[in-house]
Chain A
Amino acid sequence: MSDARIILDISGVTKRFAVGDDEVEALAPVDLTIPQGEFVCLIGASGCGKSTLLRIIAGFEEPTTGEASIFGKRITGPGSDRGMVFQDYALFPWMTVRENISFGLRQGRMPREAIEKTTDEFVRMVGLERFVGRYPNQLSGGMKQRVAIARVLANNATMLLMDEPFGALDALTREQLQYELLQIWSRTGVTAVFVTHSVEEAVLLADRVLVMSAGPGRIDSDFRIELARPRDVSSPEFNALRRDISRRLTSHLVPSQVPA
């Protein structure tokens, strides 16, 4: 993995938000590089800036200082090379499953047959062949999130950005989608940046877990997960890593709860 090309380079990125008359520092200078094909989880308590960092990578927010670039090109706005999967899906409710998945493809000058073919391929990848004609309102949460993933991948995104994508799903569906996501990730070779609250989810999915801490948000520690996939959540190695990461996470919670 170390010889892979660097896809994402973040250097000295900070973000300040105006809150009323005050300014809140959401991100202290953050430096981060991600090689192509890596599965990275960002984990941290609420307010640690993990979603802000993800939105900066997506191009939805501009950094206050510093620079984020993808393949050496500075990120100045949203682009089809980076696809976001939102927790609340953000599917287009007036489009069918098929129309949602082909939306990105239809923005260019691609010939119709090529669009149909690619759409079919990604419909199959997420297993929604029987539901192509349905509207998002007629789908379960798990199916909606499959559409959201397929919509981004069909558009040939090289980075899959996911903001707590499985947070609103029930435990069984979440497990199923985690499994499917890993399959898709290994099949497509896409680079994944995945924001989560769950230590177990992070250790299950990631090559690398970045623990973030709040006030202001920064990357506290960088865990490499060397466990072979499929990972056994009950193995001692898995639980040792889970314990270590949980300890790093909670070590930041304690001081913030004590008044300074």
Chain B
Amino acid sequence: MSDHVTTVAAAAERSAPETAAAARRRHRQRLETLRAFVLGAGFPILLVLVWDRAVAITGTRLVPSPYQVAVMMYDFSFGGVYDDAFSGTILIHVWKSVQRVYGGFFLAALIGIPLGMMIGRIKVLHQLLDPTISLLRPIPVTAWLPLSMIFFGLGPNAAIFLVFLGAFYPILLNTMFGVRSIDPRLFEAASMLGCTGTGMFRQIVLPASLPAIFNGLRIAHGFAWILIVVGEMTGVPTGLGSVVMDGRTLSRTDLVITGMIVIGACGFITDRIIVAISNRLLSWSPQHLE
């Protein structure tokens, strides 16, 4: 019986070797995807198990167990457990934070990309601005907190300003770097084909430095979510950062951890969106695909 099966399979393989090979390749790819998923998702699950055991063994009351956090997460999302000021408010906080994160992030991109392109390409601008940028860049964003509150008062604008500051330098520096590492032959080729002036920026400088710009955008986007907690310390009543700060003030660690997880998830999902956009725009450059 088993002999019969092998011969049939072998005959099928001989008669259609390409399809069999293609099927094997597809099968291998599926296994690879499955393995990446199991490993990628398995590690956080392991961490949660370690956390759970550690809390149970030490008997601490300072750190909630994963279960307590899960309950808090449910209440934060849908309400009906504690029915307090935070119950079922997740969308309001996420929406407020998203507005501030992307307000600051897009402002940084809107100024950082054109400015970086011009500084990278126009020598006088580089001489004029580069020392100032190098001087301002090492100043931690948190050090701007008092000044930003003086400039913008208590409220969302101070938070947007801080996110902007954190996102601005990686975008600017990566754009400058991208522009300066463009092969000079591409400019020669473009100019001999009749491309001049602003056409050069739009048709050569921008697309050629796009891989570096996207690297900058990804780093900046990470910073933007990191800085939202700092930004929302400036006395705004809503937002994921303010939830974490409130949790700290109220000694509700389960709320703090819930806020942390939501911030992480938001950053993760939006990072995937940026990667998807960059894969689409940079499909010509295989080394930048992910």
Contact = CB atoms under 8 A, between A and B. Distances in A.
B208 interface: yes
Contacts of A83: 192-193
B199 A107 contact: yes
Interface stretch (A17-25, A43-51, A88-96, A185-193): A88-96
A58 B204 CA distance: 20
Given A94-B207, A94-B208, A86 B286 contact: no
A104 B186 contact: no
Interface residues of A, number: 28
A78 interface: yes
A84 B191 contact: no
A80 B286 contact: no
Interface in B178-229: 183, 185-186, 188-195, 199, 203-204, 207-208, 210
Given A78-B188, A107-B199, A93 B193 contact: no
Contact of B192 (A82, A91, A93, A94): A82
Given A90-B186, A92-B186, A59 B192 contact: yes
Q: Is the interface of B mostly helix, strand, loop or mixed?
A: helix
B286 A92 contact: no
A151 B185 contact: no
A93 B189 contact: no
**Size class of the contact patch on chain B:** 20 to 34
Given A94-B207, A94-B208, A94-B284, A151 B183 contact: no
Interface in A194-245: none
Interface of A is mostly: loop
B175 to A, nearest CB: 16
Interface string A128-167: 0000000111000000000000011001000000000000
A137 B286 contact: yes
A179 interface: no
B285 interface: yes
B194 A108 contact: yes
Contacts of B191: 77-78
A107 B208 CA distance: 18
23 contacts: A58-B192, A59-B192, A60-B192, A78-B188, A78-B191, A80-B192, A80-B194, A83-B193, A86-B185, A91-B189, A92-B186, A92-B204, A92-B207, A93-B284, A94-B284, A104-B193, A107-B193, A135-B283, A151-B189, A151-B193, A152-B192, A152-B193, A155-B194
Interface of A: 58-60, 77-80, 82-84, 86, 88, 90-95, 103-104, 107-108, 135-137, 151-152, 155
